Structure 1
Amino acid sequence: MSRSTSLLRILCASTFLTSIAHAEEQLTLDPLTVTAQGALAGGSRTVPSNAEAREIIQRTPGGVAVVPAEAFEDRYSVSFEDTLSLTPGVYAQQRFGEEVRLSIRGSGLSRGFHLRGLTLLQDGIPFNLADGSADFQEADSLATQRLEVFKGANALQYGSSSLGGAINIVSKTGHSNPGNQVRFEASSESTYRANYQSGRVFDGSDYFASLTTTTSDGFREHDDQENIKFNGNFGQALSEGAETRFYLSANVLDQELPGSVSLQTALNNREAADPSSITADQQRDIRSVRLANKTTFNVGDDDSVDIGAFVNVKDLFHPITPFVGVIDQESVDYGFFAQGSGEYQLSGHRNVYRLGVTSHFGEVDAKVFQNIGGSRGALLADADQTSRNVSLYGENSFYVTPAWALVTGAQLTWSTREVEDHVRPNESDGKTYISVNPKLGVLYEPSENVQLFANVSKSHEAPTFTELTQGGTVGFTPVDAQEAWTAEIGTRGTSGRFAWDVSIYRAWLKDELLQFTTGPSIPASTFNAGDTVHQGVELGFDVILADGIAREGDQLQWRNAYTYSDYYFDGDVQFRNNDIAGQPKHFYQTELRYDQSDWHVAVDWELSSDADVDFSNTIETPGYGIIGFNAGYDVTSDIHLFVDGRNLLDQEFISTFSTIVNGAGNTSVFYPGEGRRFFAGVRVQF
Structure 2
Amino acid sequence: MTIRFLLHPAFILDRRAVAALAGSLAMPLVLAQSVTPPTLEPVVVSASRSEQTRFDAPAAIDVVKVDPFTAMSPLVNLSELLSAVPGLQVRERQNYAQDLQISARGFGTRSTFGVRGVRILVDGIPATMPDGQGQAATANLAAASRIEVLRGPMAQLYGNAAGGVVQVFTNNPPRGDEPTTGSVTVGAGSDGQRQLGASIAGGNDVIGGTFDVSTYSTDGYRDHSAAERTQFSGKVVVRPSAATTVTALVGYFNQPKSEDPLGLSSTDFASNPRQVVPVALSFDTRKKIEQQQVGVVIEHKLSASDTLNARAYSGTRQVFQTLSFSGAAANSSGGVVDLDRNYAGLGLNWNHKTRVNDLPLNWTLGVEADNLRELRRGYVNNAGTPGALRRDEKDTARDLDFFGQVDWTFAPRWRATAGVRSSRVRLAVDDHYAVTKDNPNDSGQVEYRKTSPVAGLVWSATDNVNIYANIGKGFETPTLAESAYRANATGPNLGLLPSTSVQGELGAKIKSGRHAVDLALFDSRSKDEIVPSSVSNGRSVFQNVDGVQRRGVESSWLAKWDNKLTTRVSYTWLDATFREAFSNAQNATIAAGKRLPGAPQHSLYSEALYQVNDALSAAVEMRAESKVFVNDINSEAASGYAVLNARTGYAFKLGTANMFLFGRIDNLLDKQYAGSVIVNDGNGRFYEAAAGRRVFVGLRAAL
SS across alignment from 2:481: helix
SS across alignment from 1:291: strand
Does residue 453 of structure 2 align to residue 456 of structure 1? no
Counterpart contact for 1:317–1:327, Cα < 8 Å: yes
User: Match of 1:62?
Assistant: 59
Distance 2:570 2:424 in 1: 36
Does residue 681 of structure 2 align to residue 678 of structure 1? no
Q: Deviations over 1:515-535 (max 9, x none)?
A: 37745x434332212211011
User: Match of 2:340?
Assistant: 330
User: Match of 1:75?
Assistant: 73
Runs of 4+ in 1 over 6 A off after TM superposition: 34-37
Q: Deviations over 1:324-370 (max 9, x none)?
A: 41111111110100011131023543211111111111100111111
Distance 1:337 1:125 in 2: 9
Does residue 301 of structure 2 align to residue 318 of structure 1? no
Distance 2:534 2:138 in 1: 26
Does residue 136 of structure 2 align to residue 136 of structure 1? yes
Larger CA deviation: 396-405 vs 341-350: 341-350
Distance 1:58 1:161 in 2: 27
Does residue 576 of structure 2 align to residue 561 of structure 1? no
SS across alignment from 2:115: coil
TM-score (norm 2): 0.86
Deviation, 1:163, is: 4.5
Deviation, 1:67, is: 0.9
SS across alignment from 1:409: strand
SS across alignment from 1:485: strand
Q: Deviations over 1:360-415 (max 9, x none)?
A: 11100111111123222111100000111011111101111122101111110001
Q: Deviations over 1:176-217 (max 9, x none)?
A: 996211111100221101110111122411101000111110
Distance 1:474 1:374, change over 3 A: closer
Distance 1:614 1:156, change over 3 A: closer
Distance 1:498 1:487 in 2: 27
Distance 1:124 1:414 in 2: 20
Counterpart contact for 1:60–1:154, Cα < 8 Å: no
Deviation, 1:446, is: 2.8
The 5 A counterparts of 1:423-462 are 423=433, 424-462=439-477
The 5 A counterparts of 1:474-493 are 475-477=491-493, 478-493=495-510
Counterpart contact for 2:482–2:540, Cα < 8 Å: no
User: Match of 2:17?
Assistant: none
Distance 1:208 1:217, change over 3 A: same
Give the CA RMSD over aligned residues. Answer: 2.6
User: Match of 1:155?
Assistant: 155
SS across alignment from 1:266: helix
User: Match of 2:398?
Assistant: 388
Does residue 467 of structure 2 align to residue 465 of structure 1? no
Distance 1:624 1:468, change over 3 A: same
Counterpart contact for 1:116–1:133, Cα < 8 Å: yes
Deviation, 1:273, is: 1.5
Distance 1:516 1:64, change over 3 A: farther
Q: Deviations over 1:565-623 (max 9, x none)?
A: 11111122432221121121001111111013211111111111111222222222111
User: Match of 1:349?
Assistant: 359
The 5 A counterparts of 1:260-659 are 260-322=263-325, 323=327, 324-423=334-433, 424-471=439-486, 472-473=488-489, 475-477=491-493, 478-515=495-532, 518-519=535-536, 521-545=537-561, 547=562, 554-573=563-582, 574=589, 575-595=591-611, 596-636=613-653, 638-659=658-679
Distance 1:164 1:511 in 2: 15
SS across alignment from 1:466: coil
- Which amino acid letter does the alignment assign opposite residue 80 of structure 1? L
Does residue 657 of structure 2 align to residue 660 of structure 1? no
Deviation, 1:57, is: 5.0
Distance 1:388 1:581 in 2: 30
Distance 1:631 1:54 in 2: 34
Q: Deviations over 1:269-314 (max 9, x none)?
A: 1111222112211112111110000000111113211011000111
Distance 1:536 1:464 in 2: 27
Distance 1:312 1:31 in 2: 41
Counterpart contact for 1:642–1:682, Cα < 8 Å: yes
Counterpart contact for 1:107–1:118, Cα < 8 Å: yes
Deviation, 1:513, is: 1.2
Distance 1:517 1:221, change over 3 A: farther
SS across alignment from 2:617: strand
Distance 1:268 1:499, change over 3 A: farther
Deviation, 1:638, is: 0.8
Q: Deviations over 1:395-440 (max 9, x none)?
A: 1011111221011111100010000111245321100000111111
User: Match of 2:224?
Assistant: 222
Distance 2:187 2:45 in 1: 30
Deviation, 1:97, is: 3.8
Counterpart contact for 2:527–2:547, Cα < 8 Å: yes
TM-score (norm 1): 0.88
Distance 1:603 1:163 in 2: 33
Distance 1:148 1:626 in 2: 26
Distance 1:314 1:31, change over 3 A: closer
Q: Deviations over 1:498-546 (max 9, x none)?
A: 1122221000100111237745x4343322122110111121111123x
User: Match of 1:23?
Assistant: none
Deviation, 1:231, is: 0.3
Distance 1:131 1:91 in 2: 22
User: Match of 1:9?
Assistant: none
Distance 1:35 1:211 in 2: 33
Counterpart contact for 2:184–2:700, Cα < 8 Å: yes
- Which amino acid letter does the alignment assign opposite residue 685 of structure 1? A
Distance 1:598 1:399 in 2: 45
User: Match of 2:122?
Assistant: 122
Distance 2:531 2:344 in 1: 28
Distance 1:484 1:35 in 2: 47
By percentage of residues, which structure has more helix? 1
Distance 1:456 1:443 in 2: 12
Q: Deviations over 1:638-682 (max 9, x none)?
A: 101011001111111011112239xxx742111011101000011
